[in-house]
Amino acid sequence: MSASLQKQPILFLSHGSPMTALGGDELNETWARLAGRLARPTAILVVSAHWTTRLPIVTGSAKPETIHDFGGFPAELYALQYPAPGDPALAQRIKQRLTEAGIATGIDAQRGLDHGAWVPLRSLFPAADIPVLQLSVQPERCARHHYAVGAALASFASENILIVATGHLTHNLMDYMRGLGQPSTASRAFRDWVHARLMRNEAESLFDWEQEAPGAKAAHPTPEHFLPLFVALGAAGAEHATEWLGGGWVGETLAADNYLFIPRGV
C-alpha cells in the first residue's frame, strides 16, 4: 500500500475514552499515523455508537455543536470544542440514498457531534474545517440492517466523502471501571475471533456474532459499540482490502482496534 491514500477508504475506529481527546495514549499515536496518510475529504460522515435511534437519522445542522456527552471527567475536557461545519445539502442526499435503498431515514437539524465523532476527528483533522455529519445506529436492529445501511452509502466514498464508523471492538464498561489490569478472558477471545474474520474479509461470518462469537455478551453487554463496524463493512463492499491499524487496549480492558477498508476500485 502506498504511503498516501489518493481516494477515501472506509474506517472503523475504536474511539476510546473521552480522556483520549487530551492525547498521549496509543490511540492518539494510531490516529496520528493514519492522519498523515489520508487525502483531504470534501466531507466526513461519522457513524457513532453514541447516537442511538429507532430509525437511521442524519444530522442536518449547518453548525453542529460539540456535545460533551459524558460526566465525571476533568474540566479541561468540557472546554474542548470541535467547530466543524455541517452540510445540510449532503444530509438530504444521504437521506435520499437510504430511502432509495428501502431504509426509512430522518434528519435532525439540531443534533451536534458527540464524542464518538469529535474525539478521533481532533486527531485526524485538527483544523475542524471539513464538513462533518453524523448518522445514528439502531441497537434494536441486527448486524444485517447496519450492513445494508453501509452498502447504501458506499458510493459516497468515490465522491471523496470519508465514512468513519466509530465504536469499540469490545466495550464492557464494568470491566473498565473495575480496573482489572488486563483484558478479561472473554473480551480477548471475542477480539481475536472478530479480528481473524476481518483480516480474512469474511464479513458475513460476523453477522450472527451475538450467537456465535466467544465471549460476545461479556465483550458487548449492549450492542451499540459493535454495530458501527457493520456499516463500515457494508460501505466497503464484498470485495475490499483490510488493514489493521492497531490501537491497543483502553484502560487495559477495552479492545481499541482500528481498521481501514479499501473498496475494490479505490
pLDDT for 177 equals 72
User: How confident is residue 266, by pLDDT bands cut at 50, 70 and 90?
Assistant: low
b/e code 28-65 from CB counts within 10 Å (16+ = b): bebbeebeeebeebebbbbbbbbbbeeebbbbbbeebe
pLDDT for 175 equals 78
Other residues' Cβ atoms within 10 Å of the Cβ of residue 159: 13
Residue 186's H or E segment, with its range, is helix 185-199
pLDDT for 6 equals 53
Residue found under cell 475514552: 17
Percent of the chain with pLDDT over 70: 96
Residue found under cell 448518522: 135
Residue found under cell 470491566: 175
Distance CA 204, CA 220 (A): 19
Instruction: Give residue-wise pLDDT tens across range 66-84.
Output: 999 998 899 999 999 999 9
Instruction: Give residue-wise pLDDT tens across range 93-143.
Output: 999 999 999 999 999 999 999 999 999 999 999 999 999 999 999 999 999
Q: What are phi and psi of 125, to 5 degrees?
A: -140, 75
For residue 1, is pLDDT > 80? Answer: no
For residue 4, is pLDDT > 50? Answer: no
Residue 195's H or E segment, with its range, is helix 185-199
Query: Span 154-163, mean pLDDT?
Result: 96
- Whether this prediction's pTM lies above 0.85 is answered by yes
Query: Span 154-175, mean pLDDT?
Result: 93
CATH architecture classification, 10-263: 3-Layer(aba) Sandwich (3.40)
Length of the chain, please? Answer: 266
Instruction: Give residue-wise pLDDT tens across range 14-60.
Output: 998 888 999 888 999 999 999 999 999 999 999 999 999 999 999 99
